[in-house]
Every structure is written in structure tokens, then in C-alpha cells.
Amino acid sequence: MFSLAALPAQYAGLQMKTAIAHVNILLKDLNEACYALLRDNEPVLRAIAEQLLESETVPGATVYRLIEEHKAKKDGLHLAQQPAAA
């Protein structure tokens, strides 16, 4: 760990500006990754939302099924074409 309190006053401002710049870059990258994840999974999120509107609760098994269906569509497969689990 590092504490800014340990820095001499003349260096603290420079260190702070550099640290803030690095944090802003990280936050921008993480924000973009988050939006990409949401965009990629929008169909399954919408399907879950529809289920919630219908019944107010959605069992975990249903959520997992919707995720698997989304993955299958994304991969260009239909559930009937997927190989059976061993």
C-alpha cells in the first residue's frame, strides 16, 4: 500500500494528478467493457425481464435455461443440435 500522506507536499500534487489520470483511464476501459457485456447479453436480459413481468419471480433454472439458449443462438446452434451431456 502507498499513502499520499507519506509524500512531501511538493510531490503530492504531481503524484495525485498522475494517479487520477491513471484511474480515469481504468474507469473508462471498465465502463466500455461493462457496456459491451450488457450489449452482448441484451437478448437474454430482455428475456429475463419479460419473465419477471409475467410472474414477478424467475426460478434460477429458468434463468440458466435462458442463458444457455442465448449462448446457443450466439454460437449458431439450436438446443436440439447441441451434443448431449456425458
Q: What does the pLDDT look like over 26-62, one tens digit per residue?
A: 999 999 999 999 999 999 999 999 999 999 899 999 9
Please tell me the chain's helix, strand, coil percentages from 3-state DSSP, rounded to the nearest 5.
80, 0, 20
Cβ within 8 Å of residue 71, ≥6 positions away: none
Rounded average pLDDT over 55-75: 90
pLDDT tens by residue, 6-20: 666 666 666 778 888
The pLDDT score that the predictor gives to residue 23 is: 87
Above 60 in pLDDT, residue 1? no
Above 50 in pLDDT, residue 86? no
Rounded average pLDDT over 67-85: 71
